[in-house]
Chains A and B, each alone.
Chain A
């Protein structure tokens, strides 16, 4: 008995975005959760269809913003009140109105950086290897083909049943993807 390499998942190929979105929607409705869609261009509806929206990114951005605001404020507090107090026209050292613009800037800066790096981290990028590229025709995902993958670690995944289900979605082809 030959040993098959472990399976990453099943990949279905479509030749237009409408079919892909429709298939993704049905797959999600069927109860699959570890699914992903691949397309040469962004499709708003696809993210919605695979239930992509609940990510932790907003929380990361919020924390980044709060950190930036506090850090900016206390940076100025430290400089103006503790480290090097300067009397500017008799104003108090702790001149909070004057601190506000920079507090705002550091809030935005850190929130934006948190968004970029948080996004990369959640996407596990940069990632030199990904199993989907084992599928021969997947290179077309950057040209004119659309792909839907159901991962093997999905609790509902069962090779034969899932294969039959994916064929029912009207794909051009369904292939096994090895890890």
Chain B
């Protein structure tokens, strides 16, 4: 009996059938909004359309959903390193999340091929007459130029794809063969992998978002994205896990004790994000140097300050206070509500990070920047459900499988 793998025992943990319906709906919503978004590119600027607007909003939508996929990759490696029941029960959702990366690569191509001149001032170095800015761009031209930009982007995606490929493949191999060595492989790769994850995330966020303002720099900027992306992914995963845990086959397998652990980690990631975001603010506020402070002034003046206050209160304070409650963390549905709320706030935070760059000193509501994340989100979720269905919902031949499920039956502290 002990020698029999769980596949032979016919423990398949298939994804609930409704997922196919959700996949279709998500695809439909995604396609409709994508059409609307593309139409927006040809609408006049006066009603919020236009090609520049198209790419500004494209960057918002792309960075948001890239964050969910990348956060899944980071969390997947994290749980391979730490072990624990929480990681085992969400592993398949994380793996499916990482397998959406090819879609994100496809969505990156229009940005890389057509978008750069519409987004980055360093693309127009030679046309800029303002002396100080021109001097900065000249000094940074060896780094901020389209060729090197694209080479770097290719390297990031290559590293992400390699990590995604091996972690997913070994996990599938373990399902089939029940060999322990795959667990060891995945842990061994995750160590250096997580270092690469933090480095590539830092470089990617610097390249793709921070360089919108080529004069400004912050060394903690990448870590804000590491924490933010991880938080996005964790919120998404919790919402999916609650959906899965309330119906067969995971009903009764993933329980309050698991959600309690996930809720504690969600609180930790909320705090980690706040820690990085506030550290940057505190250092720049204390330094009080014009070239650094300008970045915050662009995000506080002309109405943007209200969004900033909303981010502090609703992205940090409210989830922090609510997630202190033990009962809330053990109540799957309430936890999912908080998680989805945090996901929405992740978007607001990203909007606050990116959009003021194009609208310095005056708040602007961009409908295109709402349409784009919905369009990409529809495609993302459809892709995700398609990938999720390809494998059992739990890593059935993981050596710690029984322990992790047992944890849900007794655990609670």
Q: Enumerate chain A interface residues (CB-CB to B < 8 A).
A: 44-45, 47-48, 53, 58, 62, 89, 91, 97-98, 100-101
Contact = CB atoms under 8 A, between A and B. Distances in A.
Contacts of A44: 410-413
B412 A48 contact: yes
A89 B413 CA distance: 49
24 contacts: A44-B410, A44-B411, A44-B412, A44-B413, A45-B410, A47-B413, A48-B410, A48-B412, A53-B326, A53-B412, A58-B326, A62-B324, A89-B288, A91-B288, A97-B281, A97-B282, A97-B285, A97-B286, A98-B282, A98-B285, A98-B286, A100-B278, A100-B282, A101-B282
Interface in B274-293: 278, 281-282, 285-286, 288
The secondary-structure label for the interface of chain A is helix
Contacts, number: 24
A53 B326 CA distance: 10
B17 to A, nearest CB: 35
Contacts of A91: 288
Interface in B398-413: 410-413
A91 B285 CA distance: 10
A91 B278 CA distance: 18
A101 B274 CA distance: 12
Contacts of A98: 282, 285-286
A58 B325 CA distance: 9
Given A62-B324, A100-B282, 20 more contacts: A44-B410, A44-B411, A44-B412, A44-B413, A45-B410, A47-B413, A48-B412, A53-B326, A53-B412, A58-B326, A89-B288, A91-B288, A97-B281, A97-B282, A97-B285, A97-B286, A98-B282, A98-B285, A98-B286, A101-B282
Give 5 closest A-B pairs by Cβ, nearest first: A45-B410, A97-B285, A97-B282, A48-B412, A44-B413
A77 to B, nearest CB: 17
Interface in B318-357: 324, 326
